[in-house]
Amino acid sequence: AQKITQTQPGMFVQEKEAVTLDCTYDTSDQSYGLFWYKQPSSGEMIFLIYQGSYDEQNATEGRYSLNFQKARKSANLVISASQLGDSAMYFCAMREGQGAGGTSYGKLTFGQGTILTVHP
């Protein structure tokens, strides 16, 4: 079963507008972490934001915020005031707590990604 689902293969947004990239996850762990990464066309993976499962407040980092809805198992990324440089692939990822046998020590499971295009 897919653990991280990003249902939007591509999204378009006008410069200076806000955009929400969807991410849902599946886990039976109580302790887990959710991450968003940006991959521009140059290929590097840039860490954007992190949310722990026990964090009561939504994470924010500058123009990025994570809309964490635990009961719905969703961790959507909100980018406010989009800029042309935000055009990139965006990945949602999850780090589960200790898996069966205690072997999941921090590995990330990624979604398929969403390509965001910002129009001027």
Partner 1 sequence: DSGVTQTPKHLITATGQRVTLRCSPRSGDLSVYWYQQSLDQGLQFLIQYYNGEERAKGNILERFSAQQFPDLHSELNLSSLELGDSALYFCASSVAGGLGEQFFGPGTRLTVL
Point out which residues bind partner 1 (CB under 8 A). 33, 35, 37, 43-47, 50, 91, 93, 95, 98, 103-110, 112-113
Nearest to partner 1 of 12, 105 (CB atom):
105
Nearest to partner 1 of 45, 81 (CB atom):
45
Q: Is 62 exposed, middle or buried (0-12, 13-18, 19+ CB in 10 A)?
A: exposed
Nearest to partner 1 of 83, 98 (CB atom):
98
* Least distance CB 104 / partner 1 (angstroms): 7
Closest CA to 21 of 72, 66, 53, 52: 66
* Least distance CB 109 / partner 1 (angstroms): 7
Quickly tell me which residue has 């689902």 as its tokens.
5
* Least distance CB 47 / partner 1 (angstroms): 6
Helix H or strand E encompassing 48: strand 46-52
Quickly tell me which residue has 């205690």 as its tokens.
102
